[in-house]
Amino acid sequence: MIIVTGGAGFIGSHLVKGLNQLGCDEIVIVDHLKSSEKITNLSGVRFYDYLDKFSFLEAVKTRREFSKPIQAIFHQGACSDTTCTDLHYLLENNFEYSKQLLHYAMHTAIPFIYASSASVYGLASTFKEHPDYEHPLNGYAFSKFVFDQYVRKILPEAHIPIIGLRYFNVYGLHECHKGPMASVIFHFNQQAKKEGCIRLFEGSGGYKNGEQRRDFVAVEDIVRVNLWFLEHLKHSGIFNVGTGKSASFNQVAHAILQRYPGGVLRYIPFPESLKEHYQHFTEADVTALRAVGYNEPFRSIEKGIPLYLKQQV
């Protein structure tokens, strides 16, 4: 049996589907469904059980045994709202909860694979898994950063595989429930479809209009990396997961407008409130990931965006 926290969410539901494709349906989905908006994410996937996050956390704290042996824990659940300013809430959800689950995994000898975030790098220009380059700029990034730091201290004494995967800018089907936190690719597509234009930021951070750059990675690639580590549990550590090649927002917008003839770009003033807290550039250094043997190619935006938009129909 495999546990997937955040299993009804964007990446978590894709991970459940990926496990299904490997023939695994003995899956416990852990989530906290306040409304029905994420139910469609689980349409067509197979799983053994569903647990509310708080019921699951109580079972973890009391070291309660599950009905079947657990093969691995994929910890995808978190508050992913980068605009949230309630640091106590973020640390409770993204740090304390993760610590409880990590210690449960260590106590019961269960491999632990969890989602980290490229947001920990802040305004760095080098994106390598080392504290020298980690400078979180908001509460969400800090909550991910402190758990990564905790994992680094635990690793030398851990007797289980512990794998942290630092996701860069993930896009794909089933992200619409994320609202403002959905990828810019999702939002650009919505703008082009409804308004016939895509709005990009004017120049900032030394970049010209729309030339700010991010490492956009397809959710299918994120799933492949997670499942690869499930099959290669001799490895532990924190690993970047991105394409290793950044793309400008202009490139992304033009790729989307191929679908909407007559669509135009409009540049809007860069918000003053973001100037000190905005990643103008991200690009994953995937040296560590390649070094442990992951050699699958990552989908470029030229291939990934058309496939994504086709799924949106």
- Which CATH number does the domain housing residue 260 bear? 3.90.25.10
Q: Are residues 123 and 28 in the same domain?
A: yes
User: What DSSP designation does 282 have?
Assistant: -
Average pLDDT over residues 35-41: 84
Q: Are residues 17 and 134 in the same domain?
A: yes
Question: 71 near 2, Cβ under 8 Å?
Answer: yes
Q: Are residues 143 and 196 in the same domain?
A: no
pLDDT at 35 over 80: no
Average pLDDT over residues 38-44: 89
pLDDT band at residue 80 under the 50/70/90 scheme: confident
178 is an active site residue: yes
CATH of the domain at 52: 3.40.50.720
Average pLDDT of the chain to the nearest whole number: 94
Average pLDDT over residues 104-110: 95
Question: 245 near 300, Cβ under 8 Å?
Answer: yes
Q: Are residues 128 and 185 in the same domain?
A: no
Least confident of 11-15, 130-134, 273-277: 273-277
pLDDT at 263 over 60: yes
Residue 39: what pLDDT?
87
Q: How many CA atoms are closer than 13 Å to the CA of 128, on its beta-carbon side?
A: 7
- Domain hosting residue 75, numbered range: 2-169+218-243+284-298
Q: Are residues 37 and 126 in the same domain?
A: yes
Residue 81: what pLDDT?
87
Q: Are residues 224 and 267 in the same domain?
A: no
Q: Are residues 110 and 164 in the same domain?
A: yes
Q: Are residues 224 and 99 in the same domain?
A: yes
Q: Which residue has the higher pLDDT, 67 or 190?
A: 190
pLDDT band at residue 252 under the 50/70/90 scheme: very high
Average pLDDT over residues 22-51: 91
Question: Catalytic residue among 97, 104, 121, 140, which?
Answer: 140
308 is an active site residue: no
pLDDT at 107 over 70: yes
Task: Give the Cα separation of 218 and 307 in Å (integer).
Answer: 10
pLDDT band at residue 313 under the 50/70/90 scheme: low
Q: Are residues 7 and 149 in the same domain?
A: yes
Q: How many domains does the chain have?
A: 2
Q: Are residues 120 and 181 in the same domain?
A: no
CB within 8 Å of 297: residues ≥ 6 apart: none
pLDDT at 275 over 90: no
Sign of CA dihedral 304, 308, 311, 313: negative
Question: 262 near 196, Cβ under 8 Å?
Answer: yes
Q: Are residues 53 and 202 in the same domain?
A: no
Question: Catalytic residue among 178, 207, 245, 294, which?
Answer: 178
pLDDT at 48 over 70: yes
